[in-house]
Amino acid sequence: MPQAKCPSLHLTVDIGNTRTKLVAFANGQTMDSIALTDTDVPNGRTTSAIAAAATALADRQKAQWEAIAWCHTGAVPDGFTQWAEAAASRVVQLTGLTPTPLQMHYRTPHTLGADRLAASLGAVSLMPSTHLLVIDVGTCITYDVVEGGHAFLGGNISPGVQLRLQSLHQFTAALPLVDATGEQPLVGYDTATAIRSGVLAGVRAEILGVIRNLALHYPQLQVWLTGGDALGLDRLDDRPLHRDDYLVARGLESLLH
């Protein structure tokens, strides 16, 4: 009997500043994912590590890759593009210059972080035809606005939680490097809780302030949040904040359709 052919999947690869995330899709639905960081896996963000993770995802789904969509904000490891082209019959890289369904209003698309565009495309795929604010809490916090579901206007960038914690330690003589996880009292009772509560409360206040300001211009604004689990954000006043940790991957997947 002829051997049954493996079903085909789509793979998205987001190469960020601190981690690389791989997500498997079947028929537009997320099936599985793996995140790689240098702290979790020695040399975990090399092409060989990405290839091993992709193989593990395919094996778990008993499938093979039909197409790969990818983007990067961090450095692309040596040999990655050659591996991707060998691993799938179709490979799409998203950059700020890639044609997408969104009208590009950003004045310097060649400097636009592709993850920002991907997350916006992902939010549009979940909630089309409305005004969107897409907030991605990672190494940096990015705020991007999609007007009417069809026009990418741009947005803002600020330091993420880890950057704020590291900068307090690096640019002062006495402040320690504090972990983001732990107690967050309203009033810090020692240096560690003072730093942690100050940074996380500041980030929450910043995010909520941006939402309030934009909601004045877009009363029907829908807010999507990806990342930032430690912040505990789910609502602003009576406005729900939609969460999806796969926004970037969904945006990349949309390019393969």
Residue 232 confidence (pLDDT) above 90:
no
Please determine, for residue 43, whether its predicted confidence score (pLDDT) is greater than 90: no
pLDDT tens for 91-109 read 999 999 999 999 999 999 9
| Least confident segment among 125-139, 140-154, 218-232 | 218-232
Q: Where are the beta strands (DSSP E) in 42-197?
A: 64-72, 90-93, 103-104, 132-137, 140-147, 151-159
Q: Looking at residue 4, what is its pLDDT?
A: 47
Catalytic residues: 115
Neighbours of 125 (CB within 10 A): 16
Tell me: the pLDDT tens digits for 210-222? 999 999 999 899 9
CA distance 35 to 53: 9
Sequence ranges of the domains in the chain: 1-93, 99-116+129-244
pLDDT surpasses 70 at 190: yes
Q: Cβ neighbours of residue 6 under 8 Å, at least 6 residues apart?
A: 62, 63, 64
d(CA 13, CA 7): 20
Has residue 237 got a pLDDT over 80?
no
Q: What is the DSSP letter of 111?
A: G
The contacts of residue 31 (CB under 8 Å, 6+ apart) are: 9, 24, 25, 61
CATH 3.30.420.40 corresponds to the domain 1-93: yes
Selected residue with higher pLDDT from 235 and 213 = 213
Residue 42 CA to residue 55 CA, distance in Å, equals: 18
Q: Which of 175, 239, 176, 249 is nearest to 207 (CA)?
A: 239
Question: In terms of CATH, what superfamily is 99-116+129-244?
Answer: ATPase, nucleotide binding domain (3.30.420.40)
Over 70: is that where the pLDDT of 229 sits? Answer: no
pLDDT at 2 over 50: no
Domains 1-93 and 99-116+129-244 share a fold: yes
Residues near 92 by beta carbon (within 8 Å), at least 6 away in sequence? 67, 68, 69, 70, 98, 252, 255, 256
Cα–Cα distance, 95 to 181 (Å, whole number): 33
pLDDT of residue 20: 93
Residue that is written with structure tokens 């190469």 in the block: 15
pLDDT score for 37: 85
Query: What element of type H or E holds 239?
Result: strand 239-243
User: DSSP letters along 124-151, please?
Assistant: HHHS-SS-EEEEEESSEEEEEEEETTTE
pTM: 0.90
Given pLDDT bands bounded at 50, 70 and 90, which one contains residue 8? confident
Pairing of β 222-227 and β 132-137:
parallel
- Tell me how far CA of residue 248 lies from CA of 17, 58, 98, 150, 200, in angstroms: 14, 20, 15, 17, 23
